[in-house]
Structure 1
Amino acid sequence: MFSLVDDLEHTLLIDNKEYKFDMSFDVVLRFYELLEDDNLKGFEKVSLAFDMFYIDDPDKEFTYEQQSQAIEDIVDYLQQMPYGNEEPEYQSNTFSEPDKLYSYSQDAGAIYSSFLMDYGIDLMKERGRMHYLTFRSLLHGLSEKTLFERILSIRARPTTGLKDEQLTNLLDLKRYYALDSEKTVNQLDNQMGDIFSMLATRAQKGKEGK
């Protein structure tokens, strides 16, 4: 969880030894893209994810169990929320209907332009530098004037009470900015949980079979 008094984590303990891992936002976003790949099995995603995050001793070899635990620890750390245990649903003073969250891949352009507009931050220049928790805190703090927040507003806006041209215009915007439900951050977070549950079940069955 983001803290003003503690340093952001860049290491993990594996068998009581500390190793360096890359927690920059672009690595985490590539991890989310990895989760979207339906051609890979759960255990393949874990191994590939470990290779993406791990940046320490290249000669060190890790067991699959160590890799799986490391990725689970990273996910637990990165998903900690300051105001609850889940990604917040979009809320505003005008619209009460929650949106279907957002997609790091599908909304990449809107996120990039919104950071540049609000903060003067070129995310392309921050790759490998900005920690994911810093990125996420800034993402959630974007103003309503940014493209990203306007898109969330369109997705969340109810059609109740609208008719004729107003209704047509809103429906056109909703179709244009429609989000692939399989790529939402919420959906991929749930998929991470499913992967680790499956691996835990497999490991337990393996122990019982011995």
Structure 2
Amino acid sequence: MELYESAMPKMIIIGLDHFLQNLNHLSLTEDGRSYEAEQKKHFVQVLEDAVSQNGVTLICEECAFNGGSPGAELARKYRCRHVNITTSREERERLEIPADYQNDPAQTTRAIGLFEEHMANAIRSELRDEDVGMVMVGEVHRTAVEKSAAEFGTVIDSRGLSDFEWYEGPPVMEAGTGRFLGSCKRVTGKIS
């Protein structure tokens, strides 16, 4: 009797800061926009390397619903599938997640757990056995999504913000003027 190993999808998990996904600049000054562009260029290179070196066939991305994101652009370029795994406003209402959930620690904990469950279910429903999926989620969700993903596939790589030596966090701007003060890491000593 021969035993056959069943095919399982493979996944790469990338933890991110959502400012890196924004195709528009947040900064008001040229210095700030230049800083943002440099950070985003590095981020896109990480993603592009993951897609091209691993034969990614599906990109699952926690991103805005406006349709513009680095993951969607890479999916078009490499002709692979893209799915937004963000919990929609309608689903948040159904789950009774208040719009201001971040103002209450208990609601924040509950919402994050529900978001991670939603993302894991969305990934599971989109992933085929032969897929290599790249999963892009906020760094806060990476460990939980990685654990869930390991239940229905093989996680071949997982990296987050602290793994990227170039990452220095979002731009910090002076209140009132919008003047670029530097990266979050340089101004506060932290990356987020």
- Fold shared by both chains (TM-score > 0.5): no
Rg (Cα) greater in structure: 1
Q: Normalised by the size of structure 1, how large is the TM-score?
A: 0.26
- With a CA cutoff of 8 Å and minimum separation of 6, indicate the structure with the bigger relative contact order: 2
